[in-house]
Chains A and B, each alone.
Chain A
Amino acid sequence: MANILVYALAHEGQINKNSKGAISKAAELAAELGGSADVVLVGTDVAGIGDQAGAVGASTVYTVDAPEGIAATAIDAIAALVDAKGYDYVLFGGGLLGFEIGAGLAARIGGGVTVEVTDIKVDGGKLVAERPIFGDTLLSYSHYKSKGIIVARTNAFEVKETGGTATVEAFDAPIGAAAGQVTLKVRGEQRGADVNIEDASILVTGGRGLGNAENFSVADALAAALGTGSAVAATRAVVDAGWFPYAGQIGQTGKSVAPKLYVGLGVSGAIQHKVGMQASENVLAINKDENAPIFEFADFGVVGDLHKIAPALTEAIKAKKG
Chain B
Amino acid sequence: MKILVLVKEVPDAAVAKSIGSDGTIDRSGEKALNPYDTHALEAAVVIKEGGADVSEIVAVTVGPDSASRTLQGAVSRGADRSIHLSDEGLAGSDVVATGYALAELIKRESPELVLLGQQSDDGGSYAVGSVVGEFLGQPALSQVVKLDLTGDVITAERQAEYGYDTVEVKLPAIISVGDAINEPRYPSLKAIMGAKKKPVEKLTLADAGIDAGKVGTAGSGVNCSDFQAPAQKSGGTIITDEDTAATVEQIVAWLDERKLV
Contacts and interface: CB of A to CB of B under 8 A. Distances in A.
Interface in A50-107: 69-72, 75, 95-97, 99-107
Interface string B160-198: 111111111110010000111000000000000000000
Contact of A188 (B160, B167, B179, B226): B160
B218 to A, nearest CB: 10
A320 B261 contact: yes
Nearest to A178: B139
A95 B160 CA distance: 7
A236 interface: yes
B137 interface: yes
Interface size class of A (residues with CB under 8 A): 35 or more
A253 B221 contact: no
A291 B13 CA distance: 9
Contacts of B134: 75, 103-105, 107-108
A66 to B, nearest CB: 14
Given A100-B130, A295-B238, A303-B239, A246 B14 contact: no
Nearest to B171: A181
A316 B173 contact: no
Interface string B14-51: 10011100000000000000000000000000000000
B110 interface: no
Tell me what chain B mostly uses at the interface: helix, strand, loop, or mixed: mixed
A309 B241 contact: yes
Contacts of B220: 112, 145
Given A188-B162, A302-B241, A297 B233 contact: yes
A128 B134 CA distance: 25
B260 A260 contact: yes
A125 B222 CA distance: 16
B131 A103 contact: yes
A291 B17 CA distance: 13
Given A182-B167, A309-B244, A134 B123 contact: yes
Nearest to B136: A178
Contacts of A185: 155, 166-168
Interface in B77-126: 94-96, 99-100, 123, 125-126
A312 interface: yes
Contact of B241 (A102, A131, A137, A304): A304
A159 interface: no
Contacts of A4: none
B160 A97 contact: yes
Interface in A279-322: 282-284, 290-291, 295, 297-305, 308-309, 312-313, 316-317, 320-321
Interface size class of B (residues with CB under 8 A): 35 or more
A104 B125 CA distance: 12
Contacts of B163: 187-191, 246
B175 to A, nearest CB: 12
Contacts of A72: 133, 139-140
B248 interface: yes
Interface in A160-219: 176-179, 181-191, 202
B222 A103 contact: no
A143 B169 CA distance: 35
Interface stretch (A20-28, A29-37, A237-245): A237-245
Residue of B14, B131, B143, B159 with most chain A CB atoms under a 10 A cut-off: B159
A63 to B, nearest CB: 19
A113 B139 contact: no
A299 B19 CA distance: 28
A283 B254 CA distance: 11
Contacts of B247: 302, 304, 309, 312
Contacts of A236: 159, 180
Given A99-B126, A142-B222, A241 B228 contact: no
B232 to A, nearest CB: 11
Nearest to A105: B134
A43 interface: no
A108 to B, nearest CB: 5
B222 A188 contact: no
Contacts of A142: 222-224
A136 B140 contact: no
10 contacts: A137-B230, A138-B227, A138-B230, A184-B165, A188-B163, A236-B159, A260-B260, A282-B260, A317-B255, A320-B256
Interface of B: 13-14, 17-19, 94-96, 99-100, 123, 125-131, 133-135, 137-143, 145, 155, 158-170, 173, 178-180, 220-230, 233, 236-241, 244-245, 247-249, 251-252, 254-256, 258, 260-261
Given A144-B221, A181-B170, A182-B168, 15 more contacts: A11-B162, A96-B143, A99-B125, A111-B221, A113-B96, A145-B221, A182-B170, A183-B169, A184-B165, A188-B162, A191-B164, A253-B161, A308-B241, A312-B245, A317-B252
